[in-house]
Amino acid sequence: MKLRFFIIFLPLTIAGCDNSPNLAQLCQENTEICNDFGKDNWCKVERNNVSLSRIALKNKPSADIEKFTLLLAYESYIKCMALASQIQHIKLKEKTTMRKNHLLKAKAHLVALTDETASSEHPHLLYYHWSRTANRTALEKFLALEGSPILENAIDQYHLATYYVKREPKKTLRLLYRSLELHQPQTELEVETLQTLATIFTNKKEYKQAYIWLKAYELAQETPDKWVVETLQQYQQAYQLDHEFLDEVAMNTLDNILAGSFTTPKY
């Protein structure tokens, strides 16, 4: 049985936004922001992420990290609303129109913020403009920072890894591990790092390692991913893996990452 993995670069989200105890209070103080995209039940988490990101940027209008976070929040909302706006309501046609309007508004906001940050020198935004708009100048500036303290964080190490993934596999592996080492407790985990590790070990035909990292990726998700669950089952059957042992290894590995105590294994 031939199993294939694909690297999927997913947008970052703000963990727990929908359940944040401060959300209601923040929205009372920023009603114009929180009501900008209505109160639709669809894409609620993504909409709240946008609201919280906009409020954070309002409080720090020149902060590049907040702009980067908002760009990603807009992308997630647009992706979700693009699906929701396709649903046709026979009795509530105005709801379909409303969703389409919100989608267009979000796209306009995204374009405006993309243009606004085009000249930023922040590494997060340099990577964003290369990965989204193929800005070669931004890429060159980002790569020029490699090895400097400013890139010694989980996000930028992962971003470096995505650049080298098709160029230098060994270096990519080192960068991914370093990203996990630099993860700070109580911050959002770059879960795509786990999935990319699963992809790399699949390509290396090291199926136990591939299973461990894919299982860790599954455990890190807020909601079950049917594709991941089915793939893990296929791995177990195709390669006769001791899934109970490997599941425990994956759980312990994820716990160490979240606790900020992960160390790069020998490879």
Indicate the domain borders of the chain: 17-116, 145-259
Task: Please state, in angstroms and rounded to a whole number, the distance separating the CA atoms of residues 66 and 152.
Answer: 18
Q: What pLDDT sits at residue 15?
A: 36
Architecture of domain 145-259: Alpha Horseshoe (1.25)
Please give the full DSSP string across 154-204, using - where no structure is assigned: HHHHHHHHHHHTTT-HHHHHHHHHHHHHTPPTTS---HHHHHHHHHHHHHT
Residue 220, C-beta contacts closer than 8 angstroms, at least 6 positions apart:
189, 191, 194, 254
The whole-model pTM stands at 0.85
Q: What pLDDT sits at residue 88?
A: 63
Q: Tell whether the torsion through CA atoms of 190, 191, 196 and 198 is positive or negative.
A: positive
Q: What pLDDT sits at residue 91?
A: 57
Q: What pLDDT sits at residue 7?
A: 35
Q: What pLDDT sits at residue 194?
A: 98
Please give the full DSSP string across 125-165, using - where no structure is assigned: HHHHHHHHH--HHHHHHHHHTTTSGGG-SHHHHHHHHHHHT
Residue 177, C-beta contacts closer than 8 angstroms, at least 6 positions apart:
264, 265, 267
Give Cα separations from 104 to 18, 61, 85, 99, 114 (angstroms): 23, 24, 10, 9, 15
pLDDT (tens, 9 = 90+) of the chain, 267 residues, equals 333 333 333 333 333 334 444 788 999 999 999 999 988 888 999 999 999 999 999 998 779 999 999 999 999 999 999 998 786 665 566 777 888 999 999 999 999 999 999 999 999 999 999 999 999 999 999 999 999 999 999 999 999 999 999 999 999 999 999 999 999 999 999 999 999 999 999 999 999 999 999 999 999 998 888 999 999 999 999 999 999 999 999 999 999 999 999 999 987
Q: What pLDDT sits at residue 136?
A: 97
Unique residue bearing structure tokens 């500036």: 141
